[in-house]
């Protein structure tokens, strides 16, 4: 028999019974549920499922913890020899090691924990070898910089790098970013070069895909390719086969329609990266392109255009127009509630009292059971009270 159905012995048990009953009525955040749906709606079948890779924490953390416990014990037993270096400085020893003149192999567990926060730089005549998660490795040539992007992918910022990627588990891909491009592989050896105005890729073994937004080019063994860093679109890029075969020219292919879910999501991801790197115009262009497609990615892009306009480009009126356009196009869209809220918040922020109140009333009428109801009602009250 359920506790809540018992005759409770005292006030505490009565309170617990009632609170557990109240916990049964928790509905969760409606907008959060819609966001999750937007992400899983277009799941492709089988091995192509876009599962987020969990941050590899357990094993490296356990190893690190055991080592750390030993180090702490030693340090506390010998206080006089305790280092004065700050915790942050201690973490940043890695690049100093990695940028030594001799090639250095960094253990994978160290790479996964420390390196993503710390770019590896090589100077003149220096080389570095860095182990990456998933058994991959990269050799950095002289005068090169390797860092990690917002998606924790290795990013060649400058110079030349040769990657060796073992065959990845089904459903997973290894990706490297270089300028505005994302190089996606299953298992291969390839070189990436980033100059002042060009990114180049040469494939030693296997197959590589180079993505920019929703456009991609597929390179096979022996191919080399180069594309410009600046400019939004690179309609035609050179593709030079290895010696002995004829020269071909090919373009990045518009892949929004070609693939089910991945490429459009790649474009969304690229847009988010562009935004995080302070390139809101690029982000907006990618989102605009993506929003012209179909499916959940297009819907997400149509919604996110508003966020870029408001938060990245500081054009709140244009943002409201973008969200209104989203509502018109996706009247029953999964992000409809979020778009409604965003419009309301933005109108309140720019001081458009009448429009904000009208939006608030419409929201309360449309979502009578929303968990954001109180929040919207308070916002409406604040707008009403504003001079």
Partner 1 sequence: MNQQNPAGSQRTGPLAEDQALVERFRNGDTHAWRVLYERYSQPVFRFVSALGVPPEEREDAAQDVFVAVFRGLRSFRGEAQLSTWIYRIAARHASHLGRRRRMRSFLALLPWHEAEPEPQPDPAEKASELRLLDRLLAKLSPKKRMVLVLFEIEGLGVNEIANVMGCPPNTVWSRLRHARAELVKAARRIAT
What the block records as the tokens of 104 is 């250095």
Asked if 251 and 237 count as a contact pair (C-beta separation under 8 A), the reply is yes
Give me the least distance between CB of 76 and partner 1, in Å please: 9
Q: Which residue, 19 or 101, is less far from partner 1 as judged by CB? A: 19
* 50 touches 262 (CB < 8 A): yes
The CA-atom distances, in angstroms, between 226 and each of 179, 202, 203, 232, 251 are 12, 9, 12, 15, 11
The interface region with partner 1, picked from 20-28, 213-221, 350-358, 376-384 by CB under 8 A, is 20-28
**CB of 57 or CB of 381, closer to partner 1:** 57
* Joined tokens for residue 85: 């270096």
Closest distance of CB 75 from partner 1, Å: 8
Considering beta carbons, is residue 87 or 387 the nearer one to partner 1? 87
* Among 66, 70, 72, 231, contact with partner 1 (rule: CB under 8 A): 72
Q: How far is the CB of 83 from partner 1 (least distance, A)?
A: 10
Q: Would you count residue 19 as binding partner 1 (CB under 8 A)?
A: yes
Q: Applying CB under 8 A, which of residues 4, 186, 229, 355 lies at the interface with partner 1?
A: 4
Among 15, 277, 292, 384, binds partner 1 (CB under 8 A): 15
Q: Looking at residue 315, what DSSP letter applies?
A: -
Q: Is 169 in the site for partner 1 (CB under 8 A)?
A: no
Closest distance of CB 332 from partner 1, Å: 12
Q: Which residue has the tokens 């491009």?
A: 181
C-beta atoms surrounding 187 within 10 Å: 18
DSSP strands (E only) in the chain? 120-121, 128-131, 137-140, 145-148, 154-165, 174-178, 181-185, 188-194, 198-205, 208-212, 215-219, 224-228, 237-240, 248-250, 253-254
Q: Is 381 in the site for partner 1 (CB under 8 A)?
A: no
Instruction: Work out whether 87 is an interface residue with partner 1 (CB under 8 A).
Output: yes
Tell me the C-alpha distance between 183 and 200, whole Å: 11
Distance of CA 69 to the CA centre of its chain: 33
For residues 380 and 387, what is the distance between their CA atoms, to the nearest angstrom? 13
Q: Considering only 13-21, 178-186, 228-236, 346-354, which stretch makes contact with partner 1 by CB under 8 A?
A: 13-21
What does the per-residue mask of binding to partner 1 show for 351-380, with x meaning CB under 8 A? --------------------xx-xx-----
277 touches partner 1 (CB under 8 A): no
Contact criterion met (CB below 8 Å) for 3 and 17? yes
Does the protein bind partner 1 through residue 332 (CB under 8 A)? no
Query: For residues 164 and 371, which CB has a smaller minimum distance to partner 1 in the complex?
Result: 371
Distance between CA 369 and CA 383 in Å, rounded?
22
Given 48, 63, 64, 104, the residue binding partner 1 (CB under 8 A)? 64
Query: What is the C-alpha to C-alpha distance for residues 314 and 346, in angstroms, rounded to an integer?
Result: 11
CA gyration radius, the chain: 26
Q: Residue 43 Cβ, how far from partner 1 at the closest point, in Å?
A: 5
- Shortest separation between residue 39's beta carbon and partner 1, angstroms: 6
Residue 91 or 248 having the CB closest to partner 1: 91
Contacts of 27 (CB under 8 A, 6+ apart): 369, 371
Applying CB under 8 A, among 65, 66, 93, 257 the residue interacting with partner 1 is 65
Q: Is residue 119 packed enough to be buried (19+ CB in 10 Å), middle (13-18) or exposed (0-12)?
A: middle
Q: Is 2 in the site for partner 1 (CB under 8 A)?
A: yes
Name the residue nearer to partner 1 (CB basis): 85 or 167: 85
Site string for partner 1, 23-62 (x = CB under 8 A): xxxxxxx--xx-xxx-xxx-x-----x-xx----xx--xx
| Secondary structure of residue 126 in the 3-state scheme | coil
Sole binder of partner 1 in the list 91, 248, 314, 317 (CB under 8 A): 91
Q: Name the minimum Å distance from CB 371 to partner 1.
A: 4
Please answer whether residues 106 and 128 qualify as being in contact, where contact means their C-beta atoms are separated by less than 8 angstroms.
no
Binding footprint of partner 1 on the chain (CB under 8 A): 2-4, 11-13, 15-16, 18-20, 22-29, 32-33, 35-37, 39-41, 43, 49, 51-52, 57-58, 61-62, 64-65, 68, 72, 87, 90-91, 371-372, 374-375
């Amino acid at each position: 028999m359920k506790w809540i159905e018992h005759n409770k012995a005292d006030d505490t048990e009565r309170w617990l019974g009632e609170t557990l009953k109240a916990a049964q009525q928790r509905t969760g955040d409606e907008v959060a549920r819609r966001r999750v749906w937007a992400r899983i709606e277009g799941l492709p079948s089988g091995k192509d499922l876009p599962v987020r890779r969990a941050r590899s924490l357990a094993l490296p953390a356990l190893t690190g913890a055991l080592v750390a416990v030993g180090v702490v014990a030693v340090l506390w037993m010998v206080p006089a020899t305790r280092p004065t270096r700050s915790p942050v400085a201690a973490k940043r020893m890695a690049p100093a090691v990695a940028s030594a003149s001799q090639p250095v192999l960094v253990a994978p567990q160290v790479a996964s924990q420390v390196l993503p926060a710390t770019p590896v730089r090589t100077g003149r005549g220096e080389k570095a070898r860095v182990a990456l998660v998933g058994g991959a490795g990269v050799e950095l040539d002289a005068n090169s910089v390797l860092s990690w992007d917002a998606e924790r992918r290795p990013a060649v910022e400058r110079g030349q790098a040769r990657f060796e990627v073992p065959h990845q588990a089904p459903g997973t891909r290894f990706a490297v970013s270089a300028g505005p491009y994302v190089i996606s592989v299953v298992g291969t050896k390839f070189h990436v070069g980033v100059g002042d105005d060009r990114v180049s890729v040469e494939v030693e073994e296997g197959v590589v895909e180079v993505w920019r937004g929703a456009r991609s080019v597929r390179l096979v063994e022996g191919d080399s390719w180069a594309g410009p860093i600046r400019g939004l679109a690179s309609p035609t890029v050179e593709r030079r086969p290895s010696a002995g075969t004829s020269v071909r020219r090919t373009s990045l292919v518009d892949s929004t329609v070609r693939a089910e879910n991945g490429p459009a999501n790649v474009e969304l991801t690229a847009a988010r990266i562009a935004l995080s790197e302070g390139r809101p115009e690029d982000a907006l262009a990618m989102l605009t392109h993506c929003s012209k497609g179909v499916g959940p990615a297009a819907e997400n892009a149509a919604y996110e255009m508003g966020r870029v306009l408001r938060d990245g480009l500081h054009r709140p009126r244009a943002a409201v127009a973008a969200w209104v356009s989203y509502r018109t196009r996706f009247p029953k869209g999964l992000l409809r509630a979020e778009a409604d809220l965003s419009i309301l918040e933005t109108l309140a922020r720019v001081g458009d009292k009448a429009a904000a109140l009208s939006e608030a009333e419409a929201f309360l009428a449309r979502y009578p059971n929303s968990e954001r109801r109180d929040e919207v009602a308070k916002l409406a009250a604040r707008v009403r009270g504003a001079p």
